[in-house]
Structure 1
Amino acid sequence: MAEYPGGPVILPAVGAFVTSVRDGQTGTVTGHEGGRLSVTWPSGRVTRVARADVRCGLSAGQVVQDQPRSLRPSLGEGRVLDVRTLGGREQALVEFWTTGERQWLPWEQLVPVWSAQSLFEQGVTPLAGFAERFRLRHLALALQHWHRTTGALAQVDIDPLPHQLHLVQRILQSGNLNWLIADDVGLGKTIEVGLLLAALRARGLRRFLLVVPAGLTRQWQAELRTRFGMTQAVIYGQDFEISDPAQWPLFEVVIASMDRLKHERHLDLARQSGRWDVVVFDEAHRLSRSLYGLTYQTSERYALAATLRALTENVVLLSGTPHQGNIDRFEALLELLRPGPVWRERIARLRLEPQLLAGLVIRNRKADVTDAQGNFIFKGKVTRAVTAPQNEPEEVFDRALRRYLKQGYDASRENRKAIAIGFVMTIYRKLAASSVAAIQGALERRLLRLQRQEPAAVQPGPAQPDDPDDGSPFVEADEQVSGTRSEFFSGETEMLRGLIGLARELRTHDTKLQAFTQTLIGGILAGNPDERVLIFTEYRSTQDYLVQTLNGLAPGRVDVIHGGQTLEERAAAIAHFEESGQFLVSTEAGGEGFNLQRRCRVLVNYDLPWNPMRLVQRVGRLYRYGQEKPVVVFNLSVSGSLDDEILRQMYTRLDAVAADLASVADEYREGLQEDIVGEVASFLDVSTILAEAATHTPSRTQARIEEALERARQAARQQDDLLRHSSGFDPDALRGELPVGEAHLTAFVDGMFGQLGVTVTHRLHAGQVWEIKLPEDLQRQLNLNQNQRVAFNRHAASKHRATLLDSRSALLGFLFETAGTYAFSGHVAQTPLGEGGTAGAVLRWQDDRGRPLSERFVVLRRQQDGVTVNPPAFSRDLLQPAVDTPGIPSLTVQAWPAFETALHDLLAAGASDDLHPDGYLVTGVAWNAD
């Protein structure tokens, strides 16, 4: 600091541009001495001048480097946008490309540097070694852009699929973070959200709230922690409680059950949680709001969503079935994405302007998605029906049970106050269709209830507005239904005794169990004795019945999962099944949220659920990404049983309807039928038909099924016609991007180690783990020991106790930072990488408030027929060290306008209603020698 009349003043940094206040010449500061400046002028003359004799020499358009006098990190390179004087001080407005921020700074700390474009235009001859530094500089840029637009470096062993990368890029490059993701079951929605959140964290966003079904909170936490390293992800109400709203800022990534959060006490706390960067709703179709006449009926869940919407600018909704045959509900979801009267009017015109959905909804279908090589990733599904014929004792029991159920239903209709009797009768029908063990246990509990007058285990009641369409997710509780203390009808006790006696006799000759063990399991294992089999049932009693039988066939190789287990117990059972088990028997409640596609392809439905979407969800445990074989599904039923016959007919017709819809699609694709099965099933209300079947003739019941299927078909058509206007996976969409992957990360690290003197002493485990030695200066800078073991994917890092080189790695962050500094150079190079002339650039778009929202890293290669964007050959060249090629440059300054035109065309192509061109920065120019 030096004193002059008017107050203290900062001396300009060495290298700063100054302008003489006497003659207006601009020179460069080359030194300080005694409060005076040494300045070199354009003529080459060097003079010593007082600080008061010079002022800011910067002008708009110049590229500068921030050189802070404090210990804060440098803001890097930026471009001067304007210069002003305030309070006698001159300042420059600089836009920094690493952050996208624009800041007014003291001009004295800004040193002009040569941009890549100016170096090229001035004909600067690249020095030896610049080719390799050019390669490493652009590898760093490509890898960081890859992470910022996909989140891929948050977990380099995820191996994201093209549709997942495309989805994240579509959202991030749209300029708007409010989207409905309507992917089919099994396409990796947790990976998509994890990638999106990781990319947003790289952009500086921190507070994320995920509102999910209660049964999925632990699964979401495990995915975010293990796959994306978000160890701070905590579950509200389980991992932490809030006693004072001031505690909310302590938690950055929060997972909450939507049914916990909707209650007033928790909702009041949520209102005081502060601003969230992004709020994610899983199973968003549960956020229901329906229009009745001119009045909206809003569920508690939707009210919760509206409350949280006011706390964030960005909402992401997840639902495989967002429409559900109800346009009002669908529009209500869209209004959560785009609130306000203007958008309400636009959404109301959705039927007339369905193209609106392209900027609101992303929908990927199993039939469309491919791997990186363009191969379809789903290998198909085969469904086979296995029918067990009733024997005489089973027919006798079935007739007796029907008489009992009929009297129960009659009693329910005769006495309106006894409506719960009908509920119990329906539960008994489901249990009977499951297994003789399930219905026997229920009847015995009912009889015990009447004899001992014990409190009812479950008191059935009307469904609440927010209950799932298929009832409670923990349907195992149905088994505990025992009804009131008094008889449902006169003589019930005697009927129960007779039924229980018949049921006990059936245990010794259960044809359904025999078909399961001998025909089904025997046939499966005959083809492959080591085949793993997943078996689904709705009820614990049936599960116990099957486990007892299977343990006799394969001792020690039978595992179970059910709703009464902890997440850890379920995970242990799955791990044992995949490692050394053979049979995994799961109840509906236990099976929610787990995936087994890696080691299992055979599914047996011991009982068929009344809600067809449950069957689709069961199949989704195996028929999802990562399944390398066709999935085989066996549906077991009993001929002669009324409910089994209805369900079997219904599922057969459902497959037929889906096949018909698939065959008339605009472009038939293998696997489309499976997509449509789930789509139609989501609209199919079978419970009502089955509930009425006890009093209807078989022909009337069949007619009702056909009517329901026709309504479901029409609803599916309506949804498909509407959602076909959504954004979806386009195999060609990513072909315009520069291909980048884990191999580029390895090549970058290897090259930077060579530049910085890091020694790789051993490359272990097929090159996945490196043992390295750091030079002393890096040890001090990074505060690390000399010897390090690093890995390039999380599995190898965990298995071999190595440090993962991901987005949180201090070492990788230092390598990126070093490669991007001005001192590292590499802005220009003469190398075969350049061929006919190559330029790298970062393009950026902003919102209507001037905030940077979207960016793209591109490589432009000039050829005889024009400029090519992101040539794949350049991506391959980046994997090998680059060499200098001295000689006469093949590229002249006259070639530059072609690059500039291409950059402006790209900015125009990326603009939209939400995105406006923000500019570009040329990161490097390379050319070859003639």
Structure 2
Amino acid sequence: MLLPVVGAYVLHARSGEVGTVSGHEGERLTVTWGDGRSARVARHDVRCGLPVGQAVQEQPRSLRPSLGEGHVLELRTLGGREQALVEFWEGAERHWLPWENLLPVWSARSMVEAGVRPPGGFAERFRLRQLALALQHWNRTTGALAQVDIDPLPHQLHLVRRILQSGNLNWLIADDVGLGKTIEVGLLLSALRQQGLRRFLLVVPAGLTRQWQAELRTRFGLGQAVIYGRDFEISDPAQWPLYEVVIGSMDRFKHERHLDLLRQSGRWDMVVFDEAHRLSRSLYGLSYQTSERYHLAAMLRGLTENVLLLSGTPHQGNLDKFEALLELLRPGPVWRERIQQLRMEPQLLSGMVIRNRKADVTDAHGEFIFKGKVTHAVAAPQNEEEQDFDRALRRYLRHGYEASRRGRQSLAIGFVMTIYRKLAASSVAAIEGALERRLRRLQNRLREEAGVSEVGMESEESSPFVEREEEVTGGSTEFFSGETEMLQGLIALARRLRQHDTKLQAFTGTLLGSILRTNPQERVLIFTEYRSTQDYLVAALERLTPGRVDVIHGGQSLEERAASIERFESEGQFLVSTEAGGEGFNLQRRCHILVNYDLPWNPMRLVQRVGRLYRYGQQKPVVVFNLNVQGSLDDEILMQMYGRLEAVAEAMAGVADEYREGLREDIVGELASFLEIEEILAEAAAHTPQRTQARIEEALERARQAAQQQNDLLRFSSGFDPNALQGELPMGEQHLMAFVEGMFAHLGVTVSQKLYGGRVWEIKLTEPLQQQLGLKQNQRVAFDRSVSRTAKALLLDGGSRLLKLLFETAGEYAFGGQIAQAPLQGDGTASAVLRWQDDRGRSLSERYVVLQRQGQGVEVNPPDFSVWLLQPALDEPGEPGMKAEAWPQFEDKLHDLLARGASDELHPAGYDVTGVAWGPVRVTGPEGEVGSGGRLVRS
């Protein structure tokens, strides 16, 4: 028979006495009975003596780690063997275990009820135990320790906490551009990994796969994040379990061959869709028209219980499409019917959508983090040469558009004409190059390449189509009679223009001259749509500041783009980027000036350009300069359109007391997402400027109405509440440092020097720790990832073996500190972990709380306690000031917190008291309260 561990409670089968095992000799046990007698008894004469509710520690008989501490929920006998159902405090797991392996221990609560006096030194151990619990809870509920240099913002912590404490992991995150969606997802995935979830699939636009991989690897240490089709291929579905964190392009996955493989990939713990508004399903009459991307999402929905959708523009002015996204979060006929009643029941969104606005988010100190944006127009008047070229180009375009209204190639011709207009508005170099390619095509009579079929082509990892528009040449036959001669004349005029380019002169002379006179070292980000314009600008800037010009574009690898940005931020001055190159990169750390050398026809692209600088971390107001050529038809239309866009946004923002600078920018982004204006601009050549402007006004009004509808609906979403975290115990990196320093002192680790402003420590490990961790004696440890690389130090984040060991040591029963007599406020302090579960009994949410008794009330998470945790604690001498009869007040408060945290999807699962501390008895005297040690305490 299995022998019970020394210290186990046993029940004598005949006498009913309960005792404690104090030794073994063969099949006989030495037992100390309740009256103090010791006796030797046969193993078959004793049974399990554990009462329900007893705190226990599991003692494995092999080399595997212990399951930890918990309490007995139930007892049973199966096949003649007695077992105990134990709920363990770490992870809230429940297991039926042999009672012989369970060692009874004292819980903090039982010590208080039994009147146990804490031994000396327990105040410091109580502090370290509570720090360990609070920091690990902070990490589990926010993922903050996954990467301690992230410095998460309140709205990011709130978002992760909102999801984890909701009882449901299916959400649409509709944050504005620039609020850190990758950080939010990384924090959430890190927190979910703490809860045992492992398999994550991220479905993202093709151009962002490597960006997502870099973010997850460098910021969150998810080195196992791999890209499907780039880092690995699947030849046999049985290979899928080899990959835990997979990133894939939605346009690769939607193809039937990849879709078939994906169907066999098994269950995923969570599937994340970035740019989820691309998953479109529309209602036409009584039937749905489903895109291939939505079909992909619906298929993956069947492979996971948890879906996360990311989109800054989820509504898009189309309620059907928005409802289709919500149905991915809540599938099934019951929810479909509720979602279709969204206009009548918009409060549904509070449990499905989280939306944070730039205008609302703050830093940890409650200060708004966005400093505002100023836009200036820089106009270059046309000179005589430019007017000649403009007139000649308009003639060519007019002939082309006339040809596009007749004949077999009409669609292709009109498309090419529109591209030439965009190129002409970008730069003389862009249009000259395009005209030369067209002429060579006609002269060489090359094999006809795809003309209109070039439109909408989508390459997996190449730059978006906008960068490749200038490659489109159309067929190898003339669009209209005399086109070849007209092209030759246009090209000759364009070549002469390079010497008289007023737009370039306004840029390099007037604009940059003004900027550099103010600050000769000022860094400037320049955006253009086209590579030919980029090359043109780089050549001009190199003449101005040789060696200080960098580029990023869609043809570069991720590493090449990252290297260009690093050079720009360290020693460069000008960074010339195409939209494809700048997608996904954040440049706010060292730059606040943006020049739009050309203006995109799609207003959302301009918002995304500004978003490279106008985002969290920007310490200055963003200054935007828009260049245009006066007299150019398209330039003037674009400037008027953007001017009206800003004016409408300002009118919608209003000037009420709650108006903030960021609100206008939020609304500009919303309006831009609804503005479908490229068709109007494409047709502008055939209409009067007045008719074009009227159509733009109509489009703006439709966008305004759509934005208003979206706002009316999404105001029911969950969002950042600056007061939401006020009730939580404040935790931060300073608490991590305080914990590590305290544990080093406890374990005999010497801190010989603190470097890099205290973020890097040089330490000497003890010999036992060296052997346990497999490390040398002298080490450098860091609390910041960026500094850790520079200092070549071990990073103390959630993956650190050293930090894990410190947490484990502080959490061991033998470490002590479950109770303490310490100089804390109030009439007693108790800490506990509360837990909630779903309707299947799975643990979903937890909360670490500190309760402080103040007279007849109990305060939750007093801020003073968070401050107290930062310094080493001393024991408070004197008679214990808290008695067992005070405990019911704490218990009532814990049940009240469990009830308040419950919802339809979240049910109370229990609580564990992790520590209790109190001060000495205070005797009321004539001049105030006198502690038992004689110290006067003013009342």
- When normalised by structure 1's length, the TM-score is 0.97
CA distance in 2, matches of 1:535, 1:788: 44
**Pairwise CA distance, 1:778:** 2.4
* Residue matched to 1:735: 726
Task: Return the offset for 1:686.
Answer: 1.2
Alignment match, 2:937: none
CA distance in structure 2 between the aligned counterparts of 1:400 and 1:33, rounded to whole angstroms: 108
Structure 1 position 721 matched with structure 2 position 712: yes
Q: Is the 8 A contact 2:838 2:907 kept in 1?
A: yes
Q: Which amino acid aligns with 1:290?
A: S
Q: Does the alignment pair 1:107 with 2:84? A: no
> Partner of 2:555 in structure 1?
564
Q: Deviations over 1:74-101 (max 9, x none)?
A: 1111111110110000101111110211
Q: Map 1:143-292; keep pairs closer than 5 Å.
A: 143-292=135-284
Match of 2:870 in 1: 879
Aligned partner of 2:425: which letter? A
Query: Which residue pairs with 1:315 in the alignment?
Result: 307
Q: CA deviation at 1:531?
A: 0.8
**Aligned twin of 1:678:** 669
Tell whether 2:296 aligns with 1:304.
Answer: yes
Residue identity opposite 1:786 in structure 2:
Q
- Structure 1 stretches of 4+ with a deviation exceeding 6 A read 465-468
Residue from 399, 405, 419 that aligns with 1:407: 399
Partner of 2:735: 744
Alignment of 1:534-683 (within 5 A): 534-663=525-654, 667-683=658-674
Identical columns (%) = 76
Deviations 1:708-765, CA, capped at 9 Å, x for gaps: 0000000000011111111111111111111111111111111111212222233333
- The residue identity in structure 2 corresponding to 1:606 is Y
1:789 to 769, 780, 796: 780
**Aligned pair 1:766/2:757, yes or no?**
yes
1:508 — aligned with what?
499
> 1:831 is matched with which residue?
822
Rounded Cα–Cα distance in structure 2 between residues aligned with 1:527 and 1:278:
51
Distance in 2 separating the partners of 1:836 and 1:247: 60
Moved more, 658-667 or 320-329: 658-667
1:363-409 Cα distance to aligned partner (Å, 9 max, x none): 11111111100011100000111111112222222122112111111
For 1:481, the equivalent position in structure 2 comes to 472
Task: Give me the whole-angstrom Cα distance separating, in 2, the residues matched to 1:211 and 1:350.
Answer: 27
The 3 A distance-change label for structure 1 pair 311 and 27 is same
Q: Cα distance 1:632–1:29, how it changes in 2: closer, same or farther (>3 A)?
A: same
| Cα distance between partner residues in 2 of 1:465 and 1:396 | 35
Q: CA deviation at 1:626?
A: 0.6
SS at match of 2:896: helix
Amino acid corresponding to residue 666 of structure 2 in structure 1 = D
Q: Is the 8 A contact 1:769 1:797 kept in 2?
A: yes
What is the alpha-carbon distance in structure 2 between the residues aligned to residue 419 and residue 198 of structure 1? 50
| Residue 867 of structure 1: aligned partner | 858
Q: Deviations over 1:615-642 (max 9, x none)?
A: 0000000000110000000111112111
Q: Distance in 2 between matches of 1:643 and 1:236?
A: 42
- Structure 1: tracts of 5 or more residues without a match: 1-8
Structure 2 gap ranges (5+): 923-939
- Deviations 1:575-613 (CA, angstroms, capped at 9, x unpaired): 111111111111122111111100000000011000000
- Write the distance in 2 (CA, Å) between the matches of 1:136 and 1:592: 45
2: CA distance between counterparts of 1:115 and 1:260?
A: 55
The answer for the alignment partner of 1:6 in structure 2 is none
Using a 3 Å threshold, how does the CA distance of structure 1 residues 464 and 638 change in structure 2: closer, same or farther?
Answer: closer
CA displacement at 1:772 relative to structure 2? 2.2
What's the secondary structure of 1:882's corresponding residue? coil
1:361 alignment counterpart: 353
The farther-off stretch of 424-433 and 270-279 is 270-279
Report the CA distance between 1:235 and its aligned residue.
Answer: 1.0
SS at match of 1:798: helix
- What SS does the corresponding residue of 1:902 show, helix, strand or coil? helix
Aligned-partner residue type, residue 131 of structure 1: A
- Partner SS, residue 28 of structure 1: strand
2:362 counterpart SS class: coil
Greater shift, 875-884 or 272-281, is seen at 272-281
Deviation at 1:535, TM superposition (A): 0.6
Shift of 1:466: 8.9
- 8 Å CA contact 2:882–2:918 kept in 1: the answer is yes
* 1:436-469, Cα deviation, whole Å (9 max, x unpaired): 111111111111111111235652238669999x
The one-letter code sitting in structure 2 at the alignment partner of 1:753 is F
Range 367-376 or range 403-412, more displaced: 403-412
Alpha carbons 2:139, 2:146 under 8 Å: kept: yes
Distance in 2 (CA, whole Å) between partners of 1:222 and 1:133 is 40
SS at match of 1:358: helix
Task: Specify the alignment match of 1:380 in structure 2.
Answer: 372
2:393 pairs with 1:395: no
Aligned match of 2:7: 15
Deviations 1:793-841 (CA, angstroms, capped at 9, x unpaired): 2122211111111111111111111111111111110011354210000
Distance 1:579 1:105 in 2: 60
Q: Which of 799, 803, 808 is equivalent to 1:808?
A: 799
CA distance in 2, matches of 1:834, 1:113: 28
Task: Report deviation, 1:865.
Answer: 5.7
Quickly say closer, same or farther: Cα 1:298–1:570, change in 2 above 3 A: same
Note if 1:132 corresponds to 2:107: no
Verify: 1:72 aligned to 2:64, yes or no: yes
Q: How many aligned positions are there? A: 920
Residue-by-residue CA offset, 1:250-298 (whole Å, 9 max, x unaligned): 1111111111111111111111111111111111111111111111111
2:679 matched residue in structure 1: 688
Following superposition of structure 1 onto structure 2, how do residues 396-545 of structure 1 map, counting pairs within 5 Å?
396-456=388-448, 459-461=451-453, 473-545=464-536
In the alignment, which residue of structure 1 is the partner of 2:928? Answer: none
Alignment CA distance shift 1:540-1:457 (3 Å): farther
In the superposition, the TM-score normalised over structure 2's length comes to: 0.96
Partners of 1:690 and 1:574 in 2: CA distance: 34
| Native 8 Å contact 2:449 2:475 kept in 1 | no
Match of 1:95 in 2: 87
Deviates more, 1:532-541 or 1:385-394: 385-394
Separation in 2 of the partners of 1:520 and 1:773?
A: 57
Of 320, 324, 330 in structure 2, the residue corresponding to residue 328 of structure 1 is 320
How big is the alpha-carbon RMSD for the aligned residues of Structure 1 and Structure 2?
A: 1.6
After TM superposition, give the deviation of residue 417 of structure 1 in Å.
4.3
Contact 2:74 2:86 (C-alpha < 8 Å) held by counterparts: yes
More displaced, 902-911 or 710-719?
902-911
Q: Could you tell me how far apart the structure 1 residues matched to 2:385 and 2:263 are?
A: 61
Amino acid at match of 2:327: E
In the alignment, is residue 61 of structure 1 matched against residue 70 of structure 2?
Answer: no
Tell me which moved more, 217-226 or 767-776: 767-776
Do 2:457 and 2:465's aligned partners in 1 also have CA atoms closer than 8 Å?
no
Change (3 A) 1:148 1:882: same
Is contact 1:362-1:728 (8 Å) kept?
yes
- What SS does the corresponding residue of 2:758 show, helix, strand or coil? coil
Separation in structure 2 between the aligned mates of residue 664 and residue 473 of structure 1, nearest angstrom = 39
CA displacement 1:96-126 (0-9 Å, x = unmatched): 1102111100011111111101101111111
Q: Deviations over 1:143-173 (max 9, x none)?
A: 0001001111111111111111111111111
